[in-house]
Structure 1
Amino acid sequence: MVTGKTGVSRGSRAVAVLAPLGTALAAGAAVAFVGAVDPNEPGHYPTCPFLMLTGLYCPGCGGLRTVYALVHGDPVTALGLNPFVVLVIPVLVALWGRWTLRAWSGGESGGVPAGKSMRPAYVWLLLALMVVFWIARNLPFGEFLAP
């Protein structure tokens, strides 16, 4: 079997990247669906359960319309609907790229051991930012963050 610089065979590399590629395919299909089926039209998607039960916006409220706006080349509208989603998308793409490279190379990447996608401190930071966004968009001074 032919091996690369890392000692990982090409066959095992191909198998290792199936999960990241499958994830990209599923995400791409979901984005294509949202781009084709307008969430601004009533009846196409269910109402957010949190919004329906509490009358408050969750961190994801407006996310489908944000993705729709981005697919149709309207980043200003997307930012107005859900700036958190707009800012998190590049982070998710970067994490996906890191995962794919790590799967292909079969080892560590950026000092983060295999099996972990990012340092726990960054996960906690992301969660804290999401909670702050969640609270702020439901307060009077944060009305501009509401979808």
Structure 2
Amino acid sequence: MGPELSAPSGEGPSQVPAPQGHGSVLKRRTGWLGAADRQTDRTGWVGTAGRQADRTGWLGAADRQTDRTARVGRLRRLGTPVGILAAVTAAFTYVGTVDPNDPGHYPVCPLLRLTGVLCPGCGGLRSAHAFIHGDLGTALSANAIATVGYFLFAAVWVLWLTRAWRGRPLRIGLAPAWWWGVGAVLLIFTVVRNLPFGSALAP
């Protein structure tokens, strides 16, 4: 008989070295690895970390902060077009309330006063007043260019607001030919409304 293996005093049987080839069996039997995994799951070294992050909002707070920043940026982008609309609405409200057809409420056009020539803007206030009250025919008769400009402003403003909501800048790039065309239309409109056959365009 060979020498017997004895455990040192104060040490349990688990301290005795396992024979070669029986390590995996001993690990499964004593739970060296399994207990460690169960302890990790029980104490939450791994699994509870994710639950704790979700409970305390470590990840959710970042998402909420990003969403809050996006909302603040959107409000700032919308501030300019909304402010412009508020100013235009206030001006139209005043013109709609105070009739420009009654003398003494608004200053007379300097060009008309000095030369008697109607400028492209003459009749614009009367046009706005009629437009606000839904009289499109009178608005066109007072100043057709201004009336068309109201619809053009509305279209551009809607486009501006939509692009600001989506975080895209408003860029209206017109070729020089377009600007020359606009200038030519204004010049022709001014000349024609001051001629006898163009009296329909005069206010």
| C-alpha distance in structure 2 between counterparts of 1:79 and 1:119, whole Å | 26
SS at match of 1:44: coil
Confirm or deny that 1:28 pairs with 2:28: no
Report the TM-score when normalising by structure 1. 0.84
Q: Which residue of 2 aligns with 1:41?
A: 102
Instruction: Give the counterpart of 2:122 among 61, 74, 77.
Output: 61
Instruction: Give the counterpart of 1:2 among 48, 51, 67.
Output: 67
Shift, 1:125, TM fit: 3.0
Q: Which residue of 2 aligns with 1:111?
A: none
| C-alpha distance in structure 2 between counterparts of 1:139 and 1:146, whole Å | 9
| C-alpha distance in structure 2 between counterparts of 1:122 and 1:17, whole Å | 28
Shift, 1:118, TM fit: 4.5
Report the TM-score when normalising by structure 2. 0.62
Q: Do 1:95 and 1:117's aligned partners in 2 also have CA atoms closer than 8 Å?
A: no
Whose Rg is larger? 2
Q: Do 1:58 and 1:134's aligned partners in 2 also have CA atoms closer than 8 Å?
A: yes
Q: Do 1:99 and 1:117's aligned partners in 2 also have CA atoms closer than 8 Å?
A: no
Q: Comparing both structures, which one devotes a greater share of its residues to helix?
A: 2
> What percent of counterpart residues are identical?
44
| C-alpha distance in structure 1 between counterparts of 2:142 and 2:189, whole Å | 13
Q: Which has the higher contact order (CA 8 A, sep 6+)?
A: 1
| C-alpha distance in structure 1 between counterparts of 2:163 and 2:88, whole Å | 19
List runs of 5+ in structure 2 lacking aligned partners: 1-65
RMSD: 1.9
